[in-house]
Structure 1
Amino acid sequence: MLRYTLMRLGIFVACLVVVWGLVYSGMVPSGRNGSNSLWIPLLALVISAPISFVVLRKERDRASIQVAARVDRMKANMQANAGVEDGADDHARAETQAS
């Protein structure tokens, strides 16, 4: 999961550098009234999202498998804990009814 996040961040940074270069070279229009601090990252985000979607497809699939396995383990642990609690509760009720 960390690998996917770092790869996604790397694509964003690369797009940010390219967009910054294009804006300051005049090939892409700059923001109005000093809004380049918002315009450049927003444009880089819009460009990097579809690139990440296509380029990182295999890595995203691997990350989703890891997350699904982790969720399944947590569900199994919760069910096991619930079974232990139910057994202890049943035992305590049986003792109180016997007395």
Structure 2
Amino acid sequence: MLRYTLMRLGIFAGCLVVVWGLVYSGIVPRGLGDSNGIWIVLLALVVSAPISFVVLRGERDRASVEVVGRVDRMKANLEANRAQEDLDEDAVRKQGQTS
């Protein structure tokens, strides 16, 4: 998961540098007034999103499998804890009935 995140940030950083160069060279229009920095970041986000979607497809699938595995383990642990609590409650009830 960390690898996917770092790769995604790398693509964004690359797009940010390219967009910054295009804006300051005059190829892409500048933002309005003082919004130039925000314009560059937003444009880099818009450009990097589809690139990340296509380029990182395999890595995203691997991260997804990892997340699903973690969620399944957490669900199994939660169910085991619930079952243990039910057994403990049943034991307490039986002791209360025999006393």
Which TM-score bucket, shorter chain as reference? over 0.9
Give the TM-score normalised by the residue count of structure 1.
0.98
1:70 aligns with 2:93: no
Kindly state the Cα deviation for residue 7 of structure 1 after the two structures are TM-superposed. Answer: 0.2
1:97 matched residue in structure 2: 97
Alpha-carbon separation, structure 2, partners of 1:33 and 1:78: 54
Q: Which amino acid aligns with 1:85?
A: E
2:8 matched residue in structure 1: 8
List aligned pairs for 1:19-30, cutoff 5 A: 19-30=19-30
Aligned length: 99
Alpha-carbon separation, structure 2, partners of 1:58 and 1:45: 21
| Secondary structure at 2:49 match in 1 | helix
1:51 aligns with 2:51: yes
**Superposition CA RMSD, Å:** 0.5
Kindly state the Cα deviation for residue 37 of structure 1 after the two structures are TM-superposed. Answer: 1.2
1:87 matched residue in structure 2: 87
Give the TM-score normalised by the residue count of structure 2.
0.98
Cα deviation per residue 1:60-92 (whole Å; 9 max; x = unaligned)?
000000000000000111111111111010000
| Secondary structure at 1:61 match in 2 | helix
1:31 aligns with 2:24: no
Q: Identity across aligned pairs (percent)?
A: 70
Structure 2: unaligned runs, 5 residues or longer: none
